[in-house]
A and B are shown apart, each in its own frame.
Chain A
Amino acid sequence: MAVAIEDRLVARTAPGARRPHGPASALRFALLLLSCVLILIPVYVLIVTSFKGQGDATAAHAWDLPSRWVAENWKKAWSGDVATPAQAPGVLRSLTLVVPASILSALLGSMNGYVFAKWRFPYSNLVFTFLLFGMFLPYQAVMVPLVELMLRVDVLPSGIPQLIFLHVVYGIPITTLIFRNYYASIPQELVEAARVDGAGFFRTYRSVVLPNSVPGFVVVLIWQFTSIWNDFLFAVFFTNASNGPVTITLNNLAQGSILANYGASMAGALIASFPTILVYILLGRYFIGGLMAGSVKA
């Protein structure tokens, strides 16, 4: 037991017998610390300003701590008032958008990835490239006809239902890619064995592939959750202040009033970011997994 732990420690530092301490290490530590301080400046501003009361946020005291910590801005941002659009409805609509859209995306991506990784068919590589190109599409290049189409077809109610549909469709390339790369690591023999036993496409998927998919699902769900929650482009073309997600209500809060209410805006920004930050803190490891899958080929 002790040996195993020691082995692991050695293994971690072994490449090059690097000493973690010494002058070079101190310099690196200092540079990293400075970088983190600079990165966190906006966070300080967000928190401090959101807790300042009326008249406390003057230019001269811009960087000071609140003279009195008050929750007034948070209340105002959450439930709104005459001059402040409320964020609560936006947050709720974002939740009803993100949950079904991420789950549907992940299921679709999983099935596609399974097919492309394990059930090669004629021209499957060509078809895969055909799907993958959608990942690089600048959505501006389809927005005009897309708005027209959604208006004319009129199957889905405008607002969140349409956004769910669009995010699932335009999520196909990335989710398929992540799952294909993930399933490439499941031994082919496992799938073959099930097939020899007479299991068809769905049986194999359900009994062999799906139970081995949990990490893949976590990566894809986090990726889709974050990018759909943070989306503004589709939201601004397909929704409005009364039926849009939180990016729309937040932008209205921050940009809407003539006299900028920074306190409430910053409380709103923190409220709007809370779910994605929570996911990042709890599941950061998988978050990085999604980033990598989206950029580096497996």
Chain B
Amino acid sequence: MVSPSVILIAIFVYWMIGKNVQTSMTDIHTAAQAAGAKPHTFVGLENYGALLASDDFQHSLKNLLIYTVVFLGGTMAFGFLWSWLLDRPVPGQAVFRSVLLAPMAVSFIAAGVVWRWLLNSNQDAQASGLNRLFQMVGLGFLQNSWWNNVHWGISAIAMVAVWQMSGYVMAMFLAGFRGVPDELREAGRVDGASGWQLYRHVIFPQLRPVALSAVIVIAHMSLKAFDLIMSISKAANYQTKVPAIDMFLFKGSYDYANAATVGTILLGIVAILIIPYLVHMSRSDS
């Protein structure tokens, strides 16, 4: 009964990956070749070498690294802090939890509409968005060009991703806190652990598996960063491009070989991240 699903996944995941790797090893760089009107040849790993050596693609990889560091650091910090604050009863607990998680229900595209306005790079008299807000609350020195900075602009977009996804990490950690057996808390208290000691020595160590899952989920999302960049900046903007954007641009200009190469590189990065995790999970299972 699962065979239809197995066949579909075999075709649409595995066979497509195979076709993609095959395309990445050709010289299909023009529309005529893409349409099959002109011949193409096998070039081996040439596209990978050329792409990885190009300044342009290295810039994308550097942006992806910055994006991942900010996104991962931010969501883990806020997600953990919020779940910790919510671990014990506090007035309005349910409302807080719902509000903090709410941005997740909205698409990156819709979020991008408002954040494009908030991250407007105009400053001083022309400023709107966050730069204007900074002036209003006496923090004018914080004004900056946000995603328009060629070196660090991508971190402004990662900040939006943090806004959107910290609630997700919070929900994961909350489940982790709930999973700590009451007997364990009780035993710690009997041993004379104070509030902070109880957390530090008894509860936090129990959260390690959840933290690992959160890192994997967020890092994996980060590698696919695309929607937010498309809606806040745009594909053609050099300062905010990442591999997923390159792939879109190559595909749009019928450079199928390079588009496929970028896709395969992304898959490779995901595999490096995911396979040890899956192995680790199946080991701890048995």
Q: Which residues of A contact B (CB under 8 A)?
A: 12-16, 18, 20, 24-25, 28-29, 31-33, 35-36, 39-42, 45-46, 49, 59, 62-63, 108, 111-112, 115-116, 119, 127, 129-131, 133-134, 136-147, 149, 166, 169-170, 172-173, 176, 201, 226, 229-233, 236-237, 247, 250-251, 254-255, 260, 262, 265-266, 268-270, 272-273, 276-277, 279-280, 284, 287-288, 291-292, 294-297
* Contact, CB under 8 Å: B163 / A42: yes
> Closest CB of chain B to A34's CB: distance in Å?
11
CA distance in complex: A262, B117 (Å): 8
B283 at the interface (CB under 8 A from A): no
Residue of A nearest to B23 (CB): A144
* Contact, CB under 8 Å: A149 / B88: no
CA distance in complex: A127, B7 (Å): 11
The binding surface of chain A is classed by DSSP as helix
* Contact, CB under 8 Å: A131 / B5: yes
B231 at the interface (CB under 8 A from A): yes
* Contact, CB under 8 Å: A141 / B113: no
Residue of B nearest to A109 (CB): B5
User: Scoring B residues 101 to 119 as 1 if CB is less than 8 Å from chain A, else 0, what string do you get?
Assistant: 1111111111111111110
When distances are taken between beta carbons in the complex, the residues of chain B under 8 Å from A147 are 251
When distances are taken between beta carbons in the complex, the residues of chain A under 8 Å from B110 are 250, 269-270, 272-273
> Closest CB of chain A to B36's CB: distance in Å?
10
Number of A-B contacts (CB under 8 A): 259
B262 at the interface (CB under 8 A from A): yes
Please tell me the number of chain B residues within 8 Å of chain A, measured between CB atoms. 95
B248 at the interface (CB under 8 A from A): yes
> Closest CB of chain A to B240's CB: distance in Å?
14
* Contact, CB under 8 Å: A254 / B90: no
When distances are taken between beta carbons in the complex, the residues of chain A under 8 Å from B175 are 292, 296
B52 at the interface (CB under 8 A from A): no
> Closest CB of chain A to B132's CB: distance in Å?
5
> Closest CB of chain A to B129's CB: distance in Å?
7
When distances are taken between beta carbons in the complex, the residues of chain A under 8 Å from B86 are 32
* Contact, CB under 8 Å: A266 / B117: yes
When distances are taken between beta carbons in the complex, the residues of chain B under 8 Å from A59 are 122, 125-128, 132
A36-B12 contact in complex given A226-B105, A268-B113, C-beta closer than 8 Å:
no
B142 at the interface (CB under 8 A from A): no
When distances are taken between beta carbons in the complex, the residues of chain A under 8 Å from B12 are 142, 146, 166, 169-170
